[in-house]
Structure 1
Amino acid sequence: MIRTRRTAAVVFLTLTLTLPVSAATAASKSFPATVAFSTDASAVRLAIPRPTGQYEVGRDSLHLVDVNRRDPWVPTRARELMVSMYYPAYTGGSAAPYMAIEKARLLQGQKLNKLFTPEQLAGVRTNARVGARSVRGRHPLAVLSPGFSLNRATLTALAEELAAKG
């Protein structure tokens, strides 16, 4: 497996496999997703709430490949995993996108596009910053996984909230 070394300050690791943040945050009363409803479905605007912790949030993504194992669903390919890491950070960097349009379009196969269009999901911005410098010090590690067939973006609001609290 290709191993990528990151600084010890990268304390948040979100392992996920494959939807909208509203599902992940609706169960939590401390930071519910903001959705402005309209009779026109294309006018619905999604937003991820601002974390309540003392730190800004940084995010990094890793594409891990294990060339010694086969993908259980596509045996002709090596096993791959996308990992999102959220960590307490200093202000800086650019806003991390919630989901790329190509990934949002994959939701059509799961019939999840009846709730939101791929364009709406791709237009959501997170509070996390790509390229943000991590806060020094020791912080706990939390591993989050939304489960089989759900997008790794599902737990974005929770990951940001935990990282912001250090």
Structure 2
Amino acid sequence: MDITLKVNGTPRAVDVDPRMSLLDLLRERLGLIGAKKGCDHGQCGACTVIIDGRRANACLALAVAVDGSEVTTVEGLAEGDDLHPLQEAFIEHDAFQCGYCTPGQLCSAVGMLGEPGPSAVTGDLVVDPDLTPEEIRERMSGNLCRCGAYVNIVSAIGEAAP
């Protein structure tokens, strides 16, 4: 099937098997290897990308389902040589160890900062909560880090948050 999508601001037209995941399209066909294949079951978050402004697990999205969409991967977060503020904060706070989960953590954090409303840890569901460490942990709970760099990840996100 022929699909068209915009990846990191660049229009792309590709012929894909209808069973191909977005993750496999990005990695195998487009050469964007930032999003990682961790569990391939949507449980670890290593493959998180941003689709039309919302974070998503690329291993669970079929490539044909994102026809016409705009996809941002970790490679598209920086603008030229200028890193995204979250990328800078991750470096400053040493928010990675092995780095395998870092692309997914970064894309998830970018998407999370754009999401409105409270999470399950917020007591008052009527007001927009402050972005406390507890709130960040809850909103980022779909992204796992086997090295345990969570404290530094949370502090980096907290610093980069608007």
Say which structure is richer in helix.
Answer: 2
Say which structure is richer in strand.
Answer: 1
Whether TM-score is above 0.5 comes out as no
Q: Specify which structure has the bigger relative contact order, considering alpha-carbon pairs within 8 angstroms and separated by 6 or more residues.
A: 1
- TM-score bracket for this pair, using the shorter chain length: under 0.3
**TM-score w.r.t. structure 1 length?**
0.23
